[in-house]
Amino acid sequence: MCFNFLFFSAFPLLGQESRALVEYEKKKMMMKKPIYKASFYTLGCRLNQAETSLISNTFKERNYEIVEYGQPTDVCVINTCTVTEQADAKCRQLVRQVLKRSPDAFVAVVGCYAQMGAEALRRIEGIDLIVGTEEKMAVADFIDIPQKLPEPIIRRSKISKTPFTISSVGNYEHATRANLKVQDGCDFMCTFCVIPFARGRSRSRAFWDIQREAIQLVARGHKELVLSGVNIGTYEFEGKTVLDIVKMLETIDGLERIRISSIEPTTISIELVEHMAESEKLCSHFHIPLQSGDDSVLANMRRLYNVAEYVKFLEMIANRIPDVCLGTDVMVGFPGEGEAEFANTHRLLEQLPFAYFHVFPFSERKGTAAVKIEDKVEVHTKKERSEILRNLSREKKTHFYQQQLGKSVKVLMEEQNEPGWFQGFTDNYVKVGVPTDCDLSNEFVEVELKEISQKNLAIGEILNTY
């Protein structure tokens, strides 16, 4: 059998064939003795995590031993973020930390900050390689023998606009859930956001390549896959949409759960909502960025909806999908957000059936349109507002969890959080802890939810294992 054909075939792979392929690849790797060690550090979003695991696999295929970050290593790859000023600073700080800890290691800095801040990175003595967005997945190709260089090599090519494939499979050795990258970049141009510059315009991964990696991830034991991208609702490949990806994944034997990560409100089709309401495998969980609950702020952000439209849509989802977990992102301190505008956001977040939200203080990014908007908000006000909304999010989460008490739920167990306790998640993203001495990692168990702990964990009793 020709395994290369299986890898690159445009035809659907059968479960048995894909398993044979994975076994073959594993044996091949075991026969080689690693020469060098490589470690990885990821800053930023879920998509970056997905990409680091794909990059790490490319090193594994080149016979590197993958070691945990902080262990002695020959190569250290830092996959960076540039979404805020703090993200940039964190990246520079991390690079210095690596250089101090492993002065002889070959240091490669890749990703969004490598794309946007290459000049600042170049000034940090000791970096060997800086690779921007377009070529970061191929970083392993640029390291022949990992030896320190007198000057960093900088690779920053034009970011492509066409569909892509990734000839790798995510390496998630210690995780039960795996991320599956389906899309990259964004065309929306929100005025605060640097992502369209750092990651380029929206482009989709070839449908068959998503299927190929998904089959391989499932063959490696992952029962839950999380669709990841920058703006995944805009996925479009040869007429296929994100709903088609979900339907295709549902046919994969052994894949029990599919989760959609963050998705923009204007890109969610009614069909996707309907499908979530009926599906056995698509988790009842939407994370839909709101950003502000005030129309004037939304307009200045150049978001593609107003408050009334968002509310109508969110309520439709909540009515259509019982017990759905709804999460959101909210930004505080955007220019022009006065007391009244912030109060509108606060009120809306109180009213809407959110289970949680992530709060981000506005951070001015060079080159974005928001730089020109006047009426900036003081740093201390941003801090206060962030704190108010984070407290509200904790209350909303407790309320959502309380609504789940008394129910029997199916939990995919992930890890032991402390001796005698195991924890995992329900399909509607309730974090559940059960008292047990058994190793339940990656097992489904039926749990009756009894109470909520101080750490906002739903405590349950195991009724059944599957």
Among the listed residues 196, 229, 327, 335, the single contact to ligand SF4 using CB under 6 A:
196
Among the listed residues 213, 264, 294, 341, the single contact to ligand SF4 using CB under 6 A:
264
Residue from 126, 123, 120 nearest 108 by CA: 126
189 binds ligand SF4 (CB under 6 A): yes
Shortest separation between residue 174's beta carbon and ligand SF4, angstroms: 29
Residue from 216, 274, 212 nearest 243 by CA: 274
Among the listed residues 41, 142, 164, 188, the single contact to ligand SF4 using CB under 6 A:
188
For 173, phi then psi, to 5°, come to -65, -35
Segment interacting with ligand SF4 (CB under 6 A) among 72-80, 169-177, 187-195, 206-214: 187-195
Instruction: Pick the closer one to ligand SF4 by CB: 140 or 230.
Output: 230
Which distant-in-sequence residues (6+ apart) come within 8 Å of 143 by Cβ?
Answer: 75, 106, 108, 129
Q: Do residues 107 and 76 lie in contact, with contact meaning Cβ atoms separated by under 8 Å?
A: yes
Segment interacting with ligand SF4 (CB under 6 A) among 112-120, 138-146, 184-192, 436-444: 184-192
Segment interacting with ligand SF4 (CB under 6 A) among 70-78, 92-100, 182-190, 311-319: 182-190
Size of the site for ligand SF4 (CB under 6 A): 10
Q: Which of residues 217-236 bind ligand SF4 (CB under 6 A)?
A: 230-231
Residue 435's CB is within 10 A of a number of other CB atoms, namely 11
Please report, as a single letter, which amino acid is at residue 27. K
190 binds ligand SF4 (CB under 6 A): yes
Beta strand pairing call for 444-452 and 408-418 = antiparallel
Residues 21-60, mask of contacts with ligand SF4 (x by CB under 6 A): ----------------------------------------
Containing H/E element for 359? strand 356-361
Beta strand pairing call for 65-66 and 408-418 = unpaired
Instruction: Pick the closer one to ligand SF4 by CB: 230 or 325.
Output: 230
Instruction: Pick the closer one to ligand SF4 by CB: 13 or 301.
Output: 301
Which distant-in-sequence residues (6+ apart) come within 8 Å of 297 by Cβ?
Answer: 291, 334, 336, 337, 341, 345
Cα–Cα dist 414/398, whole Å: 21
299 binds ligand SF4 (CB under 6 A): no
186 binds ligand SF4 (CB under 6 A): yes
Q: Is 79 left (phi over 0), alpha (psi -120 to 50) or beta?
A: beta
193 binds ligand SF4 (CB under 6 A): yes
Shortest separation between residue 267's beta carbon and ligand SF4, angstroms: 9
Site for ligand SF4, rule CB under 6 A: 186, 188-190, 193, 195-196, 230-231, 264
